[in-house]
Amino acid sequence: MCVRILAIDDSPTIRGLLSRALRKAGFEVYSATDGMEGLGTLVDADPHLIITDINMPRLDGFGVIERVRASLEYATVPILVLSTEYGADLKARARKAGATGWIVKPFEDEQIVATINKVLGR
């Protein structure tokens, strides 16, 4: 089974780096430029895991997490936050919203792949 990942980040550079690293590791990657586009991509992507930035236009990562958790179809999909910020208050807010984990940018390809595999029980 091919694992599908939805990566939501407003930075084209980060989306490119994520896509390259995850495809190289054998994942199928769907990308979105902000939270609203990410939510619109959910049905097509039907992801096994979501990676989202926090600070994005139109809908931030907290909004993405809350809306995914409120949906019937995707409420249990693991969500990893990928952000340059790492304050305890932000992490607590993300956990309260329903985030599964937190990865700090910049990331190492091996680190993010290992984290995804751990979260997915692979």
pLDDT score at 85? 85
pTM of this prediction exceeds 0.75: yes
Tens of pLDDT, residues 71-101: 999 999 999 999 988 889 999 999 999 999 9
Contact assessment for residue 8 and residue 34, using Cβ atoms and an 8 Å cutoff: yes
Tens of pLDDT, residues 32-46: 999 999 999 999 999
- The residues, any chain, with a CB within 8 Å of residue 96's CB and separated by 6 or more, are none
Domain boundaries, the chain: 4-117
Residue 1 has pLDDT above 80, yes or no: no
Q: What is the CATH number assigned to the segment(s) 4-117?
A: 3.40.50.2300
